[in-house]
């Protein structure tokens, strides 16, 4: 499985970019795989600092199945005490089990080991912090389009 990783500091808009990529895929005729969408904020009591719109889904176009997950900053303990319930490795394993050819994910700096150790076929796309509010959406759209073109 090929992994496209949006990497950057915590809280700089990686989830926003992943959501834009997802919308670009929908606009370009990728279809949801029935039963795969999961709202990660709803299932896991996301702390105040986590993104409010983290999700995981699988889309398909022709024979190309693509897993998309926006969370990558944190591990939250689930009801069974599993602290890796929403770790990057958990999501990537889910995509592998569902025969995805490509996975798109977010990853905070210093959390790359979960990807590097198991997935040699990866591409890192860097997300910079944009301080000027009026430029953030433009920058995010540029990064999202760059990721979409890699597909």
pLDDT confidence of residue 48 = 47
Query: Encoding tokens for residue 95?
Result: 């995509």
Strands 64-69 and 55-61 come out as antiparallel
Task: Show pLDDT as tens, one digit a residue, over the chain (151 residues).
Answer: 999 999 998 889 999 999 999 999 999 999 999 999 998 875 445 454 445 678 999 999 999 999 999 886 555 444 555 555 567 888 999 999 999 999 999 988 777 877 888 889 999 999 999 999 899 999 999 999 999 999 9
Q: What is the pTM of this model?
A: 0.86
Strands 38-39 and 2-8 come out as unpaired
Helix and strand totals (H; E) in the chain? 5, 7
Helices 133-150 and 14-27 pack at an angle, to 10 degrees, of 50
């Amino acid at each position: 499985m090929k992994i496209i990783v949006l990497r950057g500091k915590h809280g700089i808009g990686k989830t926003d970019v992943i959501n834009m990529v997802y919308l670009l895929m929908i606009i370009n005729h990728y279809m949801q795989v029935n039963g795969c969408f999961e709202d990660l904020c709803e299932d896991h009591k996301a702390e105040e600092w986590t993104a409010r719109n983290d999700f995981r889904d699988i889309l398909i176009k022709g024979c190309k199945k693509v897993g998309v997950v926006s969370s990558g900053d944190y591990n939250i303990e689930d009801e069974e005490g599993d602290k890796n319930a929403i770790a990057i490795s958990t999501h990537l394993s889910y995509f592998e089990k569902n025969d995805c050819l490509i996975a798109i994910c977010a990853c905070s700096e210093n959390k790359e080991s979960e990807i590097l150790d198991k997935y040699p076929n990866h591409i890192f796309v860097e997300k910079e912090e944009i301080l000027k509010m009026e430029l953030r959406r433009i920058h995010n759209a540029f990064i999202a389009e760059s990721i979409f073109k890699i597909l």
